[in-house]
Amino acid sequence: MIYSEKVMDHFANPRNVGEIENADGIGEVGNAKCGDIMKMYIKVDNGIITDVKFKTFGCGAAIATSSIATEMIMGKSIEEALKLTNKAVVEALDGLPPAKLHCSVLAEEAMKAAISDYYKRQGIDPAPFVGEITPHCDGETCGCDVNH
């Protein structure tokens, strides 16, 4: 598999790794059967994501997509962050091999799950803003390159 220089850079030097104590929102997505689990933490101040951290258990592409996704939403409003798509993550990394595209979906889902959690903690129904978050991997057939 050939990875872009940006993927290799974010894998070797991931940005925003760790967790945020007293995070305003935490999202965890993935499936242990797939081998990729992402957890994203956000801090929100006046509707702006002022800090974001992640912990990812997975392949290099999963780490790279988590890393760049955190960079792409840092300092953005929640509304702007919710516009982040897995396609934008892939483009920011100068592409991913087809078998690794699901990693970018996980990064988008982790971010949306963290924002959804933020809304719930504020006593707001996240569905109108975030929509339904349906896990991309049911542990059976998700298109990952892992045999389930």
Max Cα–Cα distance, the chain, nearest Å? 45
In a domain, 130, yes or no: no
* Structure confidence at residue 135 (pLDDT): 57
* Structure confidence at residue 148 (pLDDT): 34
Nearest partner of 38 among 101, 87, 108, 93, judged by Cα: 108
Answer yes or no: are the C-beta atoms of 89 and 62 closer than 8 Å.
no
The residues pairing with 52 across neighbouring beta strands, listed in sequence order, are 42
In a domain, 145, yes or no: no
Task: Tell me how far apart the alpha carbons of residues 113 and 53 are, in angstroms, rounded to a whole number.
Answer: 13
* Domain total of the chain: 1
In a domain, 55, yes or no: yes
In a domain, 66, yes or no: yes
* Structure confidence at residue 119 (pLDDT): 97
In a domain, 97, yes or no: yes
Active-site annotation, residues: 34, 103
We report the CATH number of the domain holding residue 28 as: 3.90.1010.10
* Structure confidence at residue 141 (pLDDT): 45
In a domain, 139, yes or no: no
In a domain, 147, yes or no: no
Model pTM score: 0.89
Task: Tell me how far apart the alpha carbons of residues 33 and 62 are, in angstroms, rounded to a whole number.
Answer: 15
Q: Which domain holds residue 33?
A: 5-122
The residues pairing with 45 across neighbouring beta strands, listed in sequence order, are 48
Task: Tell me how far apart the alpha carbons of residues 79 and 94 are, in angstroms, rounded to a whole number.
Answer: 25
* Structure confidence at residue 22 (pLDDT): 96
Averaged pLDDT, groups of 10, the chain, 148 residues long = 94 97 96 84 98 95 97 98 96 95 92 97 94 59 45
In a domain, 128, yes or no: no
Helix or strand (DSSP H, E) at 68: helix 60-73
* Structure confidence at residue 146 (pLDDT): 46
CA distances from 71 to 47, 54, 55, 92, 135 (A): 17, 11, 14, 10, 23
DSSP 3-49: --HHHHHHHHS-SSBS--TT-SEEEEEEETTTTEEEEEEEEEETTEE
